[in-house]
Amino acid sequence: MKIFILISRLIYGGAERQQIVLAKGLHQRGHEVVVGVFYAGGAWEVELQQAGIRVRSLDKVGRWDVFGFLWRLVQIVRQEHPDILYGFHGIPNVVTVIPKFFLPGLRTVWPISCAYMDLDRYDWVSRIGAVFSSWVSHSADALIPNSHAGLRYHQTMGYPAEKMIVIRNGIDTERYQPDPAARVRIRMEWGIEAHMKLIGLVARLDPMKDHPVFFKAAQSLIALRSDVCFVCVGDGSPDYTAELRALADQCRLSDHVIWAGARDDMPAVYSALDLAVNSSYGEGLPNAVAEAMACDVPCVVTDVGDSAWLVGSTGGVVPPKQPETLMRAMGRLLNQPRYQPGSIRHRIVEHLSVNSLVTKTEHVLDTLLTGSRLVENGSEENRRCVERMPR
């Protein structure tokens, strides 16, 4: 089959990484995969091209380039004539409806990665977009949340339950694995002494990731012990980045936090950590946590989305928006004996393989093309075809 994947930018990010993994996996299975990007020049274009996957730019020139952009989208999709138009969250999902008017046989699929977003923290365009997405979602032929939390949340938002099938993410465990040499190198780059415990928050700088709670927990932990330091890996809008830096200064963390920005050597970064933290108040299945675990790093997560299932018994789980509880969990994991080598990584190898992601996605796409009925999530048939991970 021919699959056209539509994405805004090929930038560093957990959700973006999943699209790269899926595109390469489908390509390796013999399918023709083309990736259409709103904005060209993303960091991961070269990786796709080296894998033999064509990347086509839609040459979007800004947020308000709407009608010209949609016309170019229709023209390119008509030229490619794919069997499946596969979106990528938000606007890329929504605009898949437009080419369907011109290619009646086209099937559209929406992946969904988020859950329980606090829309009050975003601008009016995002809030209107969320409502509009809910309405337009009924035009999609299949919707694929990556978590059961995401499925439940989007059902409450009005998404059609009968079209939703959960397929959890796949982590490339050949890429993400412990690297002792990289651990030494990265810690030297950041000036981290051997006895120091490095705690990392890997996430885009976005309100939903709740960096303020992480900073408050860090401030309390520093008051109790002198052998900890912190790193924030990821980037965001200039205004929000400045706001977070100012907050870190208010928490007296200037000498204790490294701002690493976006990195393309994430396996090395994870290997440098002694503990990874996810402080979000809304998640589906956090890729950064899964990637850290694949590198055998213990994690403390907030009990949102499928995060608690993800860490299982290998880490700590705390309620969201409770910095003192987060601080105590961080301290407990730092104080306890190290996990048996490989035990944390094993959970990812066992439950979140790339092969599983590609096989289940391939099954859904084939079902759409053969005209078979997509079964409701939770039915016996769906439990066989799209496995529910054990809790």
Q: CA 306, CA 319: separation in Å to the nearest integer?
A: 13
Give the pLDDT confidence score for residue 126 in this predicted structure: 64
22-65 pLDDT, tens digit per residue, is: 999 999 999 999 999 999 888 788 899 999 999 999 999 888 88
Q: CA 323, CA 214: separation in Å to the nearest integer?
A: 7
Token pair 């830096």: residue:
245
Which superfamily is assigned to 2-170+353-385 in CATH?
Answer: Glycogen Phosphorylase B; (3.40.50.2000)
Give the pLDDT confidence score for residue 371 in this predicted structure: 79
Domain with CATH 3.40.50.2000 in the chain: 2-170+353-385, 180-350
CB burial class (10 A; 0-12, 13-18, 19+) of residue 359?
middle
User: Two tokens at 326?
Assistant: 């987060």
Fold designation for 180-350: Rossmann fold (3.40.50)
Residues 138 and 160: beta-carbon distance below 8 Å: yes
Q: How many other C-beta atoms can be found within 10 angstroms of the C-beta atom of residue 115? A: 24
**The pairing of beta strand 299-302 with beta strand 275-278:** parallel
Q: Which residues of the chain have pLDDT under 50?
A: 376-391
Q: For the whole model, what pTM was predicted?
A: 0.84
Please list the residues that pair with 258 across neighbouring strands: 231
Counting other chains too, the contacts that 28-31 makes at CB distance below 8 Å and 24 or more residues apart are: 29/358, 29/362, 31/1, 31/2, 31/3, 31/362
241 alpha carbon, distance to own chain's centre: 20
Give the pLDDT confidence score for residue 387 in this predicted structure: 39
Give the pLDDT confidence score for residue 119 in this predicted structure: 57
Give the pLDDT confidence score for residue 289 in this predicted structure: 96
Closest CA to 304 of 159, 143, 153: 153
Count how many Cα atoms sit within 13 Å of the Cα of residue 314 in the half-sphere of its side chain: 27
Give the pLDDT confidence score for residue 116 in this predicted structure: 60
